Amino acid sequence: MPGQLKVAVIGLGSMGSGIASSLLRAGHPVTGGSAFATPAEAVDDADVTIVVALNDAQTEAVLFGPDGAVGAMRPGGVVISSATMPPASARSFAARAAQSGIHYLDAPISGGSVKAEAGKLTVMASGSPEAFRAVRPVLNAIAETVYELGEEAGIGAAFKIVNQLLAGVHIAAACEAITFAVELGLDINRVFEVITKSAGNSRMFENRVPHVLDGDYSPRSAISIFTKDLGIVTELGRMEHFPLPSASSALQLFIMAEATGMGGDDDASVARLFADIAGVHLPKGT
């Protein structure tokens, strides 16, 4: 298709390849992945660079490191930065990109690799109206929902942090509750059915408890994502002098699960941590 934006997707893993697939399906020329030695080579001639990184340090290396992406982009190009990071990092990256004439969209994503592949991510983004306008077709190709949250970088990052705080606490609580239900001798399939219609429900309970019921801990989203994200959340709380006891308690549970060797497993593995500690039996996968 003529006039389609050329997009570089920089970042390994299933999120990056899912995003690339969605863009190709929408007709955008895509570069990226292991075919290129450096970010600069991958972004050569691209209109838009999507950085799918774990955190701000990785994002910084991709954008501003040796052979980084920003130096290789033509002026007027747009960076879409998807990592969860402190708002201050996003603001700093936007300012540095602007010095090279590059727009920066602070655009954390949520939804996991299945939704990335389907082009149905949720994007919580902030940045200039020009940047949004320029990348609209790209966002439409990768996301089902795009929240435009403000004109300054850092706002998208802050929304994502609030979301991850809640999601992390809810996963930990779901795992604590469903394993306690086993301890109490309850039929946990029935518990799932009742709680999902009751005051105790959460999006994460609804989404993660089926992994426990199926005994399937293959990583849809890994424990290590939440040790990372709740680490960012609680560190930001400390810097802001704001206590976050619920987030801190949940973080410790993910760290415990990671410490026992489950860091690469599905984040519902916090239930296995409780089961191991309390000596109760959860369903086994087939």
Q: How far is the CB of 123 from a copy of itself (least distance, A)?
A: 11
Q: How far is CA 202 from CA 174, 196, 274, in A?
A: 8, 7, 20
Q: How far is the CB of 264 from a copy of itself (least distance, A)?
A: 20
Q: Is residue 161 classed as helix, strand or coil in its secondary structure?
A: helix
Q: How far is the CB of 108 from a copy of itself (least distance, A)?
A: 11
By beta-carbon proximity to a copy of itself, the closer residue of 104 and 205 is 205
- The residues that are catalytic are 160
Radius of gyration of the chain (CA): 20
By beta-carbon proximity to a copy of itself, the closer residue of 31 and 164 is 164
By beta-carbon proximity to a copy of itself, the closer residue of 73 and 172 is 172
| b/e map 77-111, b = 16+ CB within 10 Å | bbbbbbbbbbbebbbbbbeebeebebbbbbbbbbb
Residue that has been written with the tokens 């760290």 in this structure = 255
Positions that interact with a copy of itself (CB under 8 A): 87, 110-111, 122, 124, 145, 147, 149, 155, 158-159, 161-167, 169-170, 172-174, 176-181, 183-186, 190-191, 194-195, 197-205, 207, 236-237, 240-250, 252-253, 274, 277-278, 280
Where is 9: in which H helix or E strand?
strand 7-10
Q: How far is the CB of 208 from a copy of itself (least distance, A)?
A: 10
